[in-house]
Amino acid sequence: MTIANLLSLSRLCLSPFILVFFSRKNLYGVIGLWTLAAVTDFLDGRMARKRGEISELGKILDPVADKMTLCFSFLSLMIWYELPLWLGIIYITKEILQLSGGFIFFKKKQKLIPSNYWGKISTFLFFVGLFLYCLNSGVGIVILSIALIISLIAFYTYTRNILK
């Protein structure tokens, strides 16, 4: 287990605590977890590349940790902070379909579809949008909507690559 993989795994394990902090209306705790998620996300990729420790496990753990962090954030905001249901439902449904498709593809072909530019941009914009939503819901919804469109483009490109 590499340091990069441990960072991704820690992010994955911490993601459910987003629900706990949101349920207690502890935005400082949520912002702390989001900050920790952003820092570990940056560091795990950087360390893996710098140390030559890019692994198949890391290619799975990193995006799953991001998706779980975002899914718990969306769920929490829909439950306790009136995030529009359509936004969260479309995001969570897309992620379930993407993870399921990726798993099926991996099982059949024994290879992973790596993250692409669209996916990385949308993940970044989702984190920015969620943070901004907590400060100003109108601005947050605009950024989250843009991120959702970009993530749907990413989903399309992943699907196209799987079907090739």
Q: What is the pLDDT of residue 83?
A: 96
DSSP label at 115? P
> What local confidence, expressed as pLDDT, does residue 105 receive?
80
Which pLDDT score is estimated for 1? 83
Q: What is the pLDDT of residue 101?
A: 83
- Nearest Cα residue to 11 out of 53, 73, 104: 73
Which segments of the chain have a pLDDT < 70?
none
Tell me the domains of the chain and their CATH numbers: 3-163 (1.20.120.1760)
| Tens digits of residue pLDDT in 21-66 | 999 999 999 999 999 998 998 898 888 889 888 888 888 888 899 9
Does residue 162 contact residue 101 with C-beta atoms inside 8 Å?
A: yes
Q: Is the pTM here over 0.85, yes or no?
A: yes
